[in-house]
Amino acid sequence: EVIAYKNRGEKTWTMLIPREVAYGLATITVDDLTNYWLQKAVSEGFNVLEFKYSRKAVEELAYTYAPVLCKSLPDYELRELDVLAKKLKDQLHDFEYEKLYPLIRCGASYHHAGLSFNARQFIEKAFRERLLRYLAATPTLAMGVNLPARVAIINTRYFSEKYMKRISILEYKQLSGRAGRPQYDPYGIVVIGKDVTSLSEAKKYIEGTPEAVGSSLWNDDALRKHVLASISSGETTTLGDLVKFFSMSFNAVNMNSITIEEKLRKTVTMLEELAMIRSRKTGTEVTFTPTNLGMATSWLYIDPVSSFIIIDGLKDREDVPPLYYLSLIGMTPDFADVHIAKQAYEWFEELVTDLEIRGEVPPQSLEYRAKDPNVNWFRGCIIGLILRDWIEEVPERVIVERYGIELGDLGVIKETGEWLVFSAYIITRTARLKRHSDKLEVLIDRVRHGVREDVLDLVKLKYIGRVRARILVNNGIRNVKDIIEKRELLIKLLGEGWGKKILEELENIYTNDVSSKER
């Protein structure tokens, strides 16, 4: 572990480097820590991973040091990188490729959850193979992806809720575990940290004891899910059963039995108010059984409050537009972790207010009736607008620019949206709100494929996505029958390669159907 610090008022960093780790030096002074290690990486053939705590920050780092690498790497390596970067073009949307190409061709990149899945996969593979020399990443990389490097530079401060905060010792230990690649590196180097102001502050992370690991089970949202699951499965039927069951959990060792019982009593009371369970007194004992709604909610593994919002928002409504359904699921606790740009709340405040007046989105009062901090009406409306644009076939580039999100965010919103529209369909069907479940059943496929209703028959076929389906429908090909009857037009519109693939797929489907009927 290399300690780097800059005393107040000084312009240079001092690095204390253990002699057994690097270059026989004990103490050196440098103007730019990252640049110093990048030059070492180029000359000695390793790569550098730097952690920072916001998307904007890691992008700025990548754009800062990509030109440094372009000037330092040998010509043959830059030519290989240019070929590598151009291979990415076929895998990404143009606007994402335009951001990444000037970085990757220089041997650098950034990594955060806003990138599309294809981009993240490409970058991880290239860095793992040491084709990329520098990667600036948010901590999510260290938590979920095995992507080590010879050198890991750890910044220790991040901005949150208008204040600068420090990462915990536990977080530092997790991030520092990315230094050194087994079987490839003789050692790993952790550089701590570009933003510490003293030697003692740096040593705190290296010599300090990691904080105790906590548990989120006893948070209200997690507890009501698990209590409902234990009752729905028949594992527990009384408060005593629940206390016994949850007393075996990890965090219960730090709680007394009275506290456990109070929290569980409060949770079952809430579940009964939400119509998830019913209680019955038998002698001196109260037993709990799940309702049909509770069983459905537990099976879907959604928050019971989400089910309440879906039913409360629809039970008195006869007819609502798709935007209403999409905004309704967007405000549920199950959408609470989705990234929405702060600017979006300012950009769309007037529009959302107008939509509420016209009844095109749920009423804001629904948020207050839910009585849960993870329920957010405005967030729901923004997510509803994003998903409405998606199912109205608005190009993804327009969507991400309009709402200030990134492709990775849009991917999460689409995936979560499909799951929750399906959940809303099951919940409304269970609650016998047929007028809504019928519409939601159609909406599931629209969210899955990102299309209007008139192309649903086409997008269910392999090789036909939202763009090709719209081209076909606009030219009179609306279903499988039209494809078969207008083969020449199909090939003319989509090209011989794709046209033949689609026709072959139809032949396979027909052959399989005939075979199954004969059996």
Q: H or E stretch including 502? A: helix 496-518
Reading the block at residue 62, the tokens are: 């990548």
* pLDDT of 10 over the 70 cut: no
Bridge pairing between strands 134-137 and 157-160: unpaired
pLDDT tens sequence across 264-285: 999 999 999 999 999 998 878 8
Is residue 93 helix, strand or coil? Answer: coil
Q: Give the pLDDT band (50/70/90) at residue 4.
A: low
Reading the block at residue 471, the tokens are: 């081209």
Q: What percent of the chain has pLDDT over 90?
A: 63
User: What does the mean pLDDT of the chain come to?
Assistant: 88
What is the distance between the alpha carbons of residues 246 and 482, in angstroms, rounded to a whole number? 59
Q: Give the pLDDT band (50/70/90) at residue 16.
A: low
Q: Give the pLDDT band (50/70/90) at residue 420.
A: very high
Q: Which range among 57-66, 160-169, 259-268, 384-393 shows the weakest confidence by mean pLDDT?
A: 160-169
> If you search the block for the tokens 């059963």, which residue do you land on?
241
CATH (one of 3.30.470.30, 1.10.150.20, 3.40.50.2000, 1.10.760.10) for 456-518: 1.10.150.20
Average pLDDT over every residue of 167-181: 86
Amino acid at position 447, single letter: V
> If you search the block for the tokens 């002699």, which residue do you land on?
19
Helix and strand counts by DSSP (H, E) for the chain: 26, 12
* Residues 103, 110 contacting (CB under 8 angstroms): yes
Q: H or E stretch including 191? A: strand 189-192
Q: Give the pLDDT band (50/70/90) at residue 25.
A: very low
CA angle centred on 184, ends 182 and 186, rounded to 5°: 85
54 conformational bin, left if phi > 0, alpha if psi -120 to 50, beta if neither: beta
CATH (one of 1.10.150.530, 1.10.10.10, 3.40.50.300, 1.10.3720.10) for 220-297: 1.10.10.10
CATH (one of 1.10.3380.30, 1.10.10.10, 1.10.580.10, 1.25.40.80) for 321-450: 1.10.3380.30
**In this structure, what are the phi and psi dihedrals at residue 289, rounded to the nearest 5 degrees?**
-130, 150
Write down the pTM of the prediction: 0.86
Reading the block at residue 103, the tokens are: 């970085």
Q: Considering the domain 2-207 in this protein, what is its CATH number?
A: 3.40.50.300
pLDDT tens sequence across 454-490: 999 999 998 999 999 999 999 999 999 999 999 999 9
Helix 55-72 to helix 33-44 angle, to the nearest 10 degrees?
50
* pLDDT of 136 over the 90 cut: yes
Q: What percent of the chain has pLDDT over 70?
A: 91
Give 252-292 as a 3 state SS string: HHHCCHHHHHHHHHHHHHHHHHCCCEEEEEECCEEEEEECH
Q: What is the pLDDT of residue 24?
A: 38
* pLDDT of 76 over the 70 cut: yes
Residues 6+ apart with CB under 8 A from 465: 449, 459
Q: Give the pLDDT band (50/70/90) at residue 396.
A: very high
What is the distance between the alpha carbons of residues 297 and 292, in angstroms, rounded to a whole number? 9
Q: Which range among 52-61, 139-148, 418-427 shows the weakest confidence by mean pLDDT?
A: 139-148
Domain ranges of the chain: 2-207, 220-297, 321-450, 456-518
Q: Which range among 82-86, 143-147, 246-250, 433-437 shows the weakest confidence by mean pLDDT?
A: 143-147
Q: What is the pLDDT of residue 182?
A: 74
Concatenating the DSSP letter of every residue in 311-377 gives: HHHHTT-S---HHHHHHHHHTSGGGTTS---HHHHHHTHHHHHHHHHTTSS--THHHHHHT-TT--H
* Residues 15, 27 contacting (CB under 8 angstroms): yes
pLDDT tens sequence across 282-324: 878 899 999 999 999 999 999 999 999 999 999 999 999 999 9
Q: Which range among 23-37, 383-397, 411-425 shows the weakest confidence by mean pLDDT?
A: 23-37
Q: Give the pLDDT band (50/70/90) at residue 392.
A: very high
Identify whether 495 is preceded by a cis peptide bond (ω within 30 of 0): no
Concatenating the DSSP letter of every residue in 119-163 gives: HHHHHHHHHHTTS-SEEEE-THHHHH----BSEEEE--EEEETTE
